[in-house]
């Protein structure tokens, strides 16, 4: 049982140490309470008909509720389908239908705030779903709403005729039907269907097993040398693979404490670090850029920090160097993918060698570089990054063609381009689809980003290739400046020309505060291309 999520839930179940704290509400839960509440939720949904393998969606902000619900679902072999909290009804409906979701779990607060969006999303030509509320009486604070979409299996006592059933005390609930005890999952059972951000086309549902997720916790714990003495500040959403695996599942497996606000707050970030004596950070480059754009409070104590971890998109060298100079801790860049249950490689902690511009060494994975004919390339030669290991997903739900294309001959083909050096450190050049092709010269937009981030006025930057009738594609860049800073288009272009070959230097600069980002905060470069095309249609 230990190689399942049920197993790691029980691993520290006797401990009364604090496991998870919401620093906004000041609500905390111990490892022991977390175990009991997760099991109670598991029994609750089981009593209302959830069977092993049923798909159950989670729709809520970060906090204790979503954490207990995730482990409550997976404890007895149901499959979690996290829903991006910012999704609108049409997007939610696609996920529900694609995954075959039977139940949705949310909180009373969110259900009240977003009832119209939810009702529109889950009305699928049938009568309104059955809705129940469940209150954890021990705390009196966590109200959970269960929405049952498969009403034909669960109607009883006129339940379907009522909009919302009264609060149910789990310990004294006679209304719920009684079933046999839940059946615990095995390591090969599906645990999670996590949808990619879908920058092109509909999102793909990545199918991850208990084995995939547990193997990944081992990899992360080893790479970052996590112990029960560690405290992580987790601000990334749990509907994304980074937040879910790096700052929930792995800390539980390692016995770490988690500080988890509902969302990122730049004004409170360092206060939380100091108050809770955080030992490691997990965020994305855009968050670190935002933090660096703020004035540093010289009185904030960060002496207990061991390292900061950056992943989900490439970390500009200028951001890394400024962060390390300001906070005097190592910035560890890692590389992860949803299909690999998050982390694939990571720069090691000191005294091992960290290489700026690299995403580090493989931990628990085998990483190679292949050409278009699937030949493995030698060090320093650029090709597609391919991966294999126990953490690699089964494939994409309901998408056999896409699965066959990406999961080939035992390797997952990432679509990322890069190379390995002689010591096995991985360097990423960018996505195949994002490479710029200007008059036959192909290069990565990351090269240009690195130069743009050297401008101290820049908070966020993204270079892209846009259609051009003469050169096939031309380089343009989008910039967000730090508050109170200014730059002209001419200044930026001249700065780039002094550091890049002429064909790589941007020909136009657009200043904007509207940077499209994915669920993890990763800048969605291709959406800038679409924006440019919409605004310059007459030019093509």
Of 195, 226, 245, at which residue does a domain stop?
A: 195
Instruction: Look at residue 340 and tell me if it is in a domain.
Output: no
- Cα gap 359→346, rounded to integer Å: 6
Instruction: Look at residue 258 and tell me if it is in a domain.
Output: no
* Domain at 485, CATH number: 3.30.300.30
Smallest CA-to-CA distance from 1 within 180, 182, 185 is with: 185
Written as tens digits, the pLDDT of the chain (540 aa) is: 468 999 999 999 999 999 999 999 999 999 999 999 999 999 889 988 899 999 999 999 999 999 999 999 999 999 999 998 878 788 888 899 999 999 999 888 888 888 888 878 876 545 567 777 777 655 445 778 888 875 434 333 333 333 334 333 333 344 455 556 678 899 999 999 999 865 456 789 999 999 999 999 999 999 999 999 999 999 999 999 999 999 999 999 999 999 999 999 999 999 999 999 999 999 998 899 999 998 878 888 999 999 999 998 788 899 999 999 999 999 999 999 999 999 999 999 999 999 989 999 999 999 999 999 999 999 999 999 999 999 999 999 999 999 999 999 999 999 999 999 999 999 998 777 787 888 767 788 888 999 999 999 999 999 999 998 788 789 999 999 999 999 999 999 999 999 998 889 999 999 999 998 876 677 888 899 989 988 887 555
User: Which are the contacts of 159, defined by CB distance < 8 A and separation ≥ 6?
Assistant: 130, 132, 165
Instruction: Look at residue 416 and tell me if it is in a domain.
Output: no
Instruction: Look at residue 509 and tell me if it is in a domain.
Output: yes
Instruction: Look at residue 216 and tell me if it is in a domain.
Output: no
Give yes or no for a contact between 150 and 73, defined as CB atoms under 8 angstroms apart: no
Instruction: Look at residue 529 and tell me if it is in a domain.
Output: yes
Of 195, 210, 227, at which residue does a domain stop?
A: 195
User: Which are the contacts of 98, defined by CB distance < 8 A and separation ≥ 6?
Assistant: 202, 205, 397, 398
Residue 415, Cα to own-chain centre: how many angstroms? 18
- Cα gap 395→209, rounded to integer Å: 11
- Cα gap 506→236, rounded to integer Å: 32
Coil, strand, or helix at residue 328? coil
Domain range holding 51? Answer: 33-195
Smallest CA-to-CA distance from 193 within 239, 232, 254 is with: 239
Burial class (CB in 10 A: 0-12, 13-18, 19+), 377: middle
Instruction: Give strand pairing partners of 420.
Output: 426
Of 160, 195, 230, at which residue does a domain stop?
A: 195
pLDDT recorded at residue 2: 64
* Domain at 97, CATH number: 3.40.50.980
Smallest CA-to-CA distance from 326 within 364, 361, 274, 291 is with: 291
- Cα gap 433→445, rounded to integer Å: 11
pLDDT recorded at residue 173: 43
Instruction: Look at residue 183 and tell me if it is in a domain.
Output: yes
Cα dihedral across residues 337, 340, 346, 349: positive or negative: positive
How many domains does the structure of the chain reveal?
Answer: 2
Enter the tokens of residue 297. Answer: 């409070």
Instruction: Look at residue 160 and tell me if it is in a domain.
Output: yes
pLDDT recorded at residue 180: 65
């Amino acid at each position: 049982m230990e190689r399942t999520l049920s197993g790691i839930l029980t691993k520290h179940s006797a401990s009364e140490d604090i496991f998870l704290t919401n620093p906004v509400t000041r609500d905390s839960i111990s490892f022991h309470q977390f175990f009991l509440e997760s099991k109670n939720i598991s029994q609750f949904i089981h009593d209302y008909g959830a069977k092993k393998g049923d798909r159950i969606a989670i729709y809520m902000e970060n906090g204790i509720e979503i954490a207990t619900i995730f482990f409550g679902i997976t404890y007895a072999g149901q499959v979690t389908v996290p829903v991006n909290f910012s999704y609108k009804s049409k997007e939610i409906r696609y996920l529900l239908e694609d995954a075959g979701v039977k139940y949705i779990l949310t909180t009373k607060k969110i259900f009240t705030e977003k009832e119209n969006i939810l009702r529109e999303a889950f009305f699928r030509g049938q009568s309104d779903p059955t809705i129940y509320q469940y209150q954890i009486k021990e705390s009196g604070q966590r109200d959970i709403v269960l929405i049952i979409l498969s009403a034909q299996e669960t109607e009883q006592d006129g339940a379907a005729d009522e909009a919302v059933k009264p609060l149910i005390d789990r310990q004294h609930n006679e209304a719920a039907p009684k079933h046999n005890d839940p059946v615990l999952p095995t390591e090969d059972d599906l645990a999670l269907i996590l949808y990619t951000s879908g920058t092109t086309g509909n999102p793909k549902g990545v199918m991850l097993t208990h084995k995939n997720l547990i193997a990944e916790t081992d990899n992360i714990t080893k790479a970052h040398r996590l112990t029960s003495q560690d405290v992580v500040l987790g601000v990334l959403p749990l509907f994304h693979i980074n937040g879910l695996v790096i700052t929930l599942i792995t800390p539980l497996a390692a016995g770490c404490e988690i500080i988890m606000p509902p969302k990122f707050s730049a004004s409170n970030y360092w206060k939380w670090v100091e108050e809770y004596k955080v030992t490691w950070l997990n965020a994305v480059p855009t968050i670190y850029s935002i933090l660096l754009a703020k004035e540093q409070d010289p009185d904030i104590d960060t002496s207990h920090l061991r390292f900061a971890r950056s992943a989900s998109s490439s970390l500009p060298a200028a951001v890394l160097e400024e962060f390390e100079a300001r906070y005097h801790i190592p910035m560890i860049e890692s590389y992860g993918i949803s299909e690999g249950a998050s982390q694939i490689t990571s720069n090691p902690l000191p005294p091992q060698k960290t290489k700026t511009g690299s995403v580090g060494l493989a931990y628990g994975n085998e990483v190679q570089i292949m050409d278009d004919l699937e030949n493995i390339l030698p060090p320093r030669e650029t090709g597609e990054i391919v991966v294999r290991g126990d953490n690699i997903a089964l494939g994409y739900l309901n998408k056999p063609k896409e699965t066959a294309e990406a999961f080939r001959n035992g390797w997952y083909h990432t679509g990322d381009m890069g190379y390995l050096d002689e010591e096995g450190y991985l360097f990423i050049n960018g996505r195949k689809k994002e490479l710029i092709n200007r008059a036959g010269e192909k290069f990565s937009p990351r090269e240009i980003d690195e130069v743009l981030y050297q401008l101290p006025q820049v908070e966020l930057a993204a270079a892209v290739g846009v259609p051009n009738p003469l050169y096939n594609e031309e380089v343009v860049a989008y910039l967000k400046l730090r508050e109170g800073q200014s730059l002209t288009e001419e200044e930026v272009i001249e700065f780039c020309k002094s550091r890049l070959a002429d064909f790589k230097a941007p020909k136009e600069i657009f200043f904007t505060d509207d940077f499209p980002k994915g669920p993890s905060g990763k800048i969605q470069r291709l959406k800038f291309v679409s924006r440019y095309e919409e605004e310059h249609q007459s030019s093509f």
